[in-house]
Amino acid sequence: MIIKTFPLGLIGTNAYLLIDEQSKEAVIIDLGGDYHTLFDEIENYNAKLQYILNTHGHFDHILGEKDAQDVSGVPVYVHENDKILVENLPKQLERFGFVNNGLPPENIKTFTEKDIFKIGDNEIKVIHTPGHTPGSVCFLTGSSLFSGDTLFYTSVGRTDFEGGSFAQLSHSITEKLFKLDDDIDVYPGHDTKTTIGYEKKYNCYFGQNNQI
């Protein structure tokens, strides 16, 4: 499967484009900015967009989705516990001091940890990882994990926003993500790629070789 990374939006959020080479089906994860570059790439591969998925509902991960939806007609998917965040995009922008120039998606569908998305023969599994937000999730497909703002390279997501909980985040990481194979590649919502094994050793909050 093809995986491409696009840092977009107000604070450089990683949007991910996944394309199955056989079926030519595509999925976007966390479209936080201008969709044109991703849509150009989809056209280059002669692919068809199936889903716009969200790891959580914060503004910097969803800001480009209304425009993309207007062009593609594809629904936006978010965990049921974060739907209210997506619906309240204008309030989020005001709260964080940005000009209110964004509209929320209109066709918002929810999922739970039991749901699985597919592109071609590839399954995209949902792992519910609350802590950064109540509805934060990670998406696992093959040996690739899209971790949103749950797990970063040598760090973790903030928990001081409304609905955040470090106790929940810690449990999500240690009891769910760190149970995965060490060689799983982690594609976070910000910054660079890492692996589960590396974070188990060196993450500044949980790493065996770098604990605080």
Closest C-alpha among 199, 80, 210 to residue 150: 199
Amino acid at 31: L
Rounded to an integer, what distance in angstroms lies between the CA atom of residue 96 and that of residue 86? Answer: 15
Whether 25 is covered by a domain: the verdict is yes
Whether 23 is covered by a domain: the verdict is yes
Whether 208 is covered by a domain: the verdict is no
Closest C-alpha among 144, 148, 137, 132 to residue 180: 144
Which pTM value belongs to this model?
0.93
Query: What's the pLDDT score for residue 60?
Result: 87
Whether 112 is covered by a domain: the verdict is yes
Rounded to an integer, what distance in angstroms lies between the CA atom of residue 27 and that of residue 39? Answer: 11
**pLDDT 10s digits, 9-68:** 878 899 999 999 999 999 999 999 889 999 999 999 999 999 999 999 998 898 899 989
| φ/ψ of residue 81, rounded to 5 | -80, -10
Structure tokens at 65: 């989705």
Closest C-alpha among 79, 49, 66, 58 to residue 106: 66
Whether 182 is covered by a domain: the verdict is yes
CA dihedral (5, 7, 8, 9) positive or negative: positive
Whether 103 is covered by a domain: the verdict is yes
Percent of the chain with pLDDT over 70: 96
**pLDDT 10s digits, 123-142:** 999 999 999 999 999 999 99
Residues spanned by the domain of 49: 2-202
Query: What's the pLDDT score for residue 207?
Result: 65
Query: What's the pLDDT score for residue 212?
Result: 42
Query: What's the pLDDT score for residue 94?
Result: 78
CA dihedral (102, 165, 150, 153) positive or negative: positive
Query: What's the pLDDT score for residue 25?
Result: 97
Average pLDDT of the residues of the chain: 92
Please compute the mean of the pLDDT values over residues 65-92 and round it to a whole number: 91
* Number of structural domains in the chain: 1
Whether 36 is covered by a domain: the verdict is yes
CATH of the domain at 172: 3.60.15.10
Whether 212 is covered by a domain: the verdict is no
Amino acid at 207: G
CB atoms within 10 A of CB 36: 12
Report residue 100's pLDDT band, with 50, 70 and 90 as the boundaries: low
**pLDDT 10s digits, 173-199:** 999 999 999 999 999 999 999 999 999
| φ/ψ of residue 77, rounded to 5 | -115, 135
Please compute the mean of the pLDDT values over residues 89-100 and round it to a whole number: 76
